[in-house]
Amino acid sequence: MSPDKRAQIVLGLGFGDEGKGLTVDFLCGQALAAGRQPLVVRFNGGHQAGHTVVLADGRRHVFSSFGAGTLRGVPTYWSAYCTFSPASVLREYAALRALGVHPRLLVDGLCPVTTHYDVLYNRALEAGRGTARHGSCGVGFGATVARHQETPLRLYAQDLRFPAVFTYKLRQIRMYYEAKIKAETSFDFHQFDHDGEDQRFAGYATQLADLHQQQLIQLTRTQEIFASDAPWQTYVFEGAQGILLDMDFGLFPHVTRSRTTSANALDLLRESTPAFGAHPEIYYVSRAYHTRHGAGPFPPEAPINLVNNAAETNQPNDHQGNFRTGPLSVELLNYALTCDANFSAGLSKHFVLTCLDHLPNGQLPCFYQGHLQQLPPKQLPVLLETDFASYRFSHSSTGAGLNQPLAL
């Protein structure tokens, strides 16, 4: 790898929705301003992500299947650590084109593909749990990962180029979930037109093939992305969800089937030879308050007054339920940092605090040492058990406020 290539890894310190999209967009803007062509790398999760980006010109988009630098014309590498949903990709592609954007997506051929059967099983299982729901997004991410890890029924992004192959595999997946749904739920599998849905899926593959011909959505491999002659100088790794939902460190069963720490990103970098010229930097992101969309443990819950949050992306829905907000827990922030330190020891680290404009008095409501306190924002990094190279605070929905790192 050319010594002038750099890597920046963006991680959430909570349960998701911390401001990772805003941070990725900001870092892409910095790279472009410096003349360093960036590439956004998605290294965990899938289309269940929802990363909101607002540009200074007012354009706004919630990214799920494209990287959060796309509004700036930055391409995305969708690594094999991520699931790939043809339906979601095509919907988002159309939405971005409607904004006047020409998105480019580079998809690893070994990405596990989410089918409508993964989504159906996910929703049937979660609905059957009643009040014991796990907090699933209901889009089939976990079901896709489990099918690939626990059965031989694997459908890869590269398979979508071959109709005879994906048609056969889809038929096998259909039979698998028919039996699984019957055995594990009371849901009536046969109430839907599965033949029609299979035809729709085949249509998605055709549309993706057309976009592949136009070199807008292309299949690729890790070696090509990180090759020494690849055209990108700055690799911005965009994490999905937060460290408190990590499959290894989160509080089971309310976790995601994904490593939300820096582990996957660092594994991708280690595969490149020779290594990057500089060690990767990590940007840890938190809102000025905790959020959780769906079921699961939450910091000691207490009322919190918010302002300027009318454009909140997260809304109550049938699958996740309510969007919950509450004071920050210093203990949980330190726990998240400790979990990631297992992989990122010795790397340069930065702290980003977003949504400060949502607090009516500018003070952070925090649980610290067993008490709810109102802290000035600059005091929070001092309480975190990590030596940060910089601190950046955002008081708006755009990344403009992140331009100047702060001294404490």
| 227 occurs within a structural domain | no
Q: Evaluate whether 259 touches 277 at the Cβ level (below 8 Å).
A: no
| 256 known member of a binding site | yes
Same structural domain, 73 and 124: no
Question: What rounded mean pLDDT belongs to the chain?
Answer: 91
Please report, as a single letter, which amino acid is at residue 43: F
pLDDT in tens, 35-92: 999 999 999 999 988 889 999 888 999 999 999 999 999 999 999 999 999 999 999 9
Sign of CA dihedral 294, 53, 32, 104: positive
Comparison of pLDDT for 310 and 224, the residue scoring more = 224
pTM for this model (two decimals): 0.93
Contact by Cβ (8 Å): 84, 46: yes
Is 207 known to sit in a ligand binding site? no
Tell which of 151, 178, 213 closes a domain.
213
Residue 317 within a domain: no
Q: Tell whether residue 395 is among the known ligand binding residues.
A: no
Give the pLDDT score at 132.
53
* 209 & 334 share domain: no
Residue 323 — very low, low, confident or very high, per pLDDT cuts 50/70/90?
confident
What CATH number does residue 196 fall under? 1.10.300
Number of domains in the chain: 2
- For residues 88 and 130, state if they share a domain: no
The residue range of the domain holding 248 is 6-109+232-304+325-370
Has residue 7 got a pLDDT over 80?
yes
Tokens of 406: 């702060």
CA-based end-to-end distance of the chain: 36
Closest CA to 60 of 398, 403, 293, 401: 398
Does the pLDDT of residue 198 top 50, yes or no?
yes
Contacts of 138 (CB under 8 A, 6+ apart): 119, 122, 123, 126, 317, 318, 319, 320
Residue 177 has pLDDT above 90, yes or no: yes
Q: Could you tell me the pLDDT band of residue 316, with boundaries at 50, 70 and 90? A: low
The pLDDT value given to residue 130: 55
pLDDT digits (tens, 9 = 90+) for 204-231: 999 999 999 999 999 999 999 999 899 9
| 115 carries a ligand binding annotation | no
Report the CATH number at residue 346.
3.40.440.10
138 and 249 together in one domain = no
Stretch 153-168: mean pLDDT: 98
Residue 128 has pLDDT above 60, yes or no: no
Q: Is 5 annotated in some ligand binding site?
A: no
* pLDDT the model gives residue 113: 98
Q: Confirm whether 292 is domain-assigned.
A: yes
pLDDT at 294 over 80: no
- From the number of C-beta atoms within 10 Å of its C-beta (0-12, 13-18, 19+), residue 223 rates as exposed
Q: CA angle at residue 270 from 265 to 273, to 5 degrees?
A: 135
Give the residue from 213, 248, 282 where a domain finishes.
213
Q: Are 140 and 118 in contact (CB under 8 A)?
A: yes
Same structural domain, 174 and 236:
no
Task: Classify residue 77: in a domain, yes or no.
Answer: yes
Answer whether 315's CB lies under 8 Å from 62's CB: no
Taking residue 28's Cβ as centre, other Cβ atoms within 10 Å add up to 29
- Mean pLDDT over 380-401 rounds to 91
Q: Is the pLDDT of residue 273 over 80?
A: no
Higher pLDDT, 189 or 294: 189
C-alpha 63, offset from chain centre: 9
Q: Which two three-digit tokens encode residue 227?
A: 């090759």
Compute the average pLDDT of residues 281-305: 89
Q: Is 406 domain-assigned?
A: no
Give the whole-angstrom CA distance, residue 275 versus residue 184.
47
Residues 21 and 56 in one domain: yes
Average pLDDT over residues 88-110: 96
Q: Is residue 192 part of a domain?
A: yes
Of 185, 213, 241, the residue that ends a domain is: 213
Q: What is the separation of C-alpha 323 from the centre of its chain, rounded to a whole number of angstroms?
A: 17
Do both 364 and 239 map to the same domain?
Answer: yes
Residues 102 and 237 in one domain: yes
Is the pLDDT reported for residue 388 higher than 50?
yes
256 shares its domain with 347: yes
Percent of the chain at pLDDT exceeding 90: 74
Distance CA 301, CA 23 (A): 27
pLDDT value of residue 1:
42
- The stretch 123-134 carries a mean pLDDT of 64
> In the chain, how many H helices and how many E strands?
10, 16
Tokens 């790939």 identify what position? 84
Per-residue pLDDT at 141 exceeds 50: yes
The pLDDT assigned to 82 comes to 97
Confidence of residue 254 (pLDDT cuts 50, 70, 90): confident
Is pLDDT above 70 for 317?
no
Same domain, 24 and 69: yes
Rounded CA-CA distance 296/311 in Å is: 24
Q: What is the pLDDT of residue 219?
A: 97
Q: What is the pLDDT of residue 211?
A: 96
Count how many Cα atoms sit within 13 Å of the Cα of residue 352 in the half-sphere of its side chain: 29
Looking at per-residue confidence, does 163 or 256 come out higher? 163
Dist CA 43 CA 149 (whole Å)? 17
Same domain, 200 and 269: no
Mean pLDDT in residue range 176-204: 93
pLDDT, average across residues 276-293? 88
Quote the pLDDT of residue 276: 61
Answer whether residue 140 is part of any domain: yes
Largest separation between any pair of C-alpha atoms in the chain: 62
How does DSSP assign 28-42, residue by residue?
Answer: HHHHHHTT--EEEEE
Residues 102 and 121 in one domain: no
* Residue 203 labeled ligand binder: no
Q: Is residue 319 part of a domain?
A: no
Q: Measure the CA–CA gap between 276 and 278, rounded to whole angstroms.
A: 5
User: Does 19 count as an annotated binding residue?
Assistant: yes
Separation between Cα atoms, residue 111 and residue 179, nearest integer Å:
25
Q: Is 20 annotated as a binding residue?
A: yes
CB atoms within 10 A of CB 275: 14
Mean pLDDT along residues 352-361: 94
Catalytic residues: 17, 51
CB atoms within 10 A of CB 204: 19
In this predicted structure, what is the pLDDT of residue 131?
56
